[in-house]
Amino acid sequence: MKRLSLLSAAMVLASGIASADMQVVATDVIGVEGPQIVGNDLYYVSWAKETVNKWDGKNNSVVKEFPGCGPTGLTLTPSKTLFVACSADPGTIMEIDLKGNKIGQWDADKKGDKLAGGVNDMVTAHSGAVYATLWGQATKLPSKVSGKIIMFSPESKTWSVVAEHINYANGIGLSPDNKTLYVSAEVGNVVYKFPVNKDGTLGDMENFAVLGALSPTQYTDPWTGPDGIEVDRDGNVYVAQWGGGKILKISSTGELLKVIEVPGSSGTTNIAFSDDNKTMFITAVDDSSASIATGKIFKVEKQ
């Protein structure tokens, strides 16, 4: 028998995680993404219906419709408001209260540059700073590598560019100590990391994980790569694989720890953890290649 490489052995050990205990808490959500826990409620978005929604543990409801936004991400601020990432190009970032009333809106960074390509995902730091990804040029070859990370200053209430040249910037997450920022580059199927400086700016971009080397995707299209990112209290990085129907749990050192299969899905979009860190919520579409991306939200014990 041919001897397995260390990488192949790790892949075998990490695969085949059962998902039978997953509970479906929302169905038929077209373009489901952006899960965000707020107390006992789960907020999420439909990028196709252009709504922010809420599941209160029993029922799902529409909080507010935002025509022309194409929402793909949410993040909770220290003031218990939500920032909404609008993926419509050029992008917009809105701040809303928990009832959906708009508090603020930004259509450009502090230099006056539009949020080109649309805003994809966001994460809030302990300081109140917010990091957001800009997709960049959302076309296939030839195209510029123009994805960016922008940072919101809670003092100046403005956004500034803190990283550039990310190949279709998508999901984003912070380590528990807020010293490392992770971002997924959808083209190339890779996750990068950045050291976070004391002033919130970012150091040089580093490779964190080449996902194709850890676990194969369902499709060979190099434009189909990682989507949302969530980091748990232990520093493990959970990466939703668009076109993969699964979530990869990766240690802070880049080791694949677990593959979490999502039943009946070919496109996971994001993850959120409950406040007690015992439950995870997964947003996923049934068929990532479909023109109408109908999906579900799963609730499962954190793995």
Domain boundaries, the chain: 6-301
CA distance 224 to 24: 25
Q: Which phi and psi (to 5°) does residue 8 adopt?
A: -65, -40
Tokens 């050990």 belong to residue: 13
Please name the fold of domain 6-301. Neuraminidase (2.120.10)
Helix or strand run (H / E) with residue 38: strand 32-38
Average pLDDT of the residues in 279-292: 92
pLDDT higher than 70, residue 98: yes
pLDDT higher than 80, residue 171: yes
Average pLDDT of the residues in 272-281: 95
Average pLDDT of the residues in 279-288: 94
pLDDT higher than 70, residue 7: no
Mean pLDDT of the chain: 90
Q: Which two tokens stand for residue 4?
A: 């397995």
Q: Which phi and psi (to 5°) does residue 28 adopt?
A: 55, 35
pTM value surpassing 0.85: yes
pLDDT attached to residue 6? 34
Confirm if 192 and 207 have CB atoms less than 8 A apart: yes
Q: How far is CA 122 from the centre of its chain?
A: 7
pLDDT attached to residue 20? 57
CA distance 97 to 55: 16
Q: Which phi and psi (to 5°) does residue 73 adopt?
A: -155, 155
> pLDDT, tens digit, for every residue of 229-246?
999 999 999 999 987 789
> pLDDT, tens digit, for every residue of 51-74?
999 999 999 999 999 999 999 999
- Going by the DSSP 8-state scheme, the letter that residue 196 receives in this structure is B
Average pLDDT of the residues in 87-114: 97
pLDDT attached to residue 47? 96
pLDDT higher than 60, residue 4: no
pLDDT higher than 60, residue 120: yes
* Strands 119-124 and 102-106, sheet pairing: unpaired
Buried b (16+ CB within 10 A) or exposed e, 46-82: bbbbbbbbbbeeeebeebbebeebbbbbbbbeeeebb
Residue in 152, 197, 162, 159 with CA at minimum distance from that of residue 183: 162
CA distance 132 to 99: 22
Q: Which two tokens stand for residue 276?
A: 């007690």
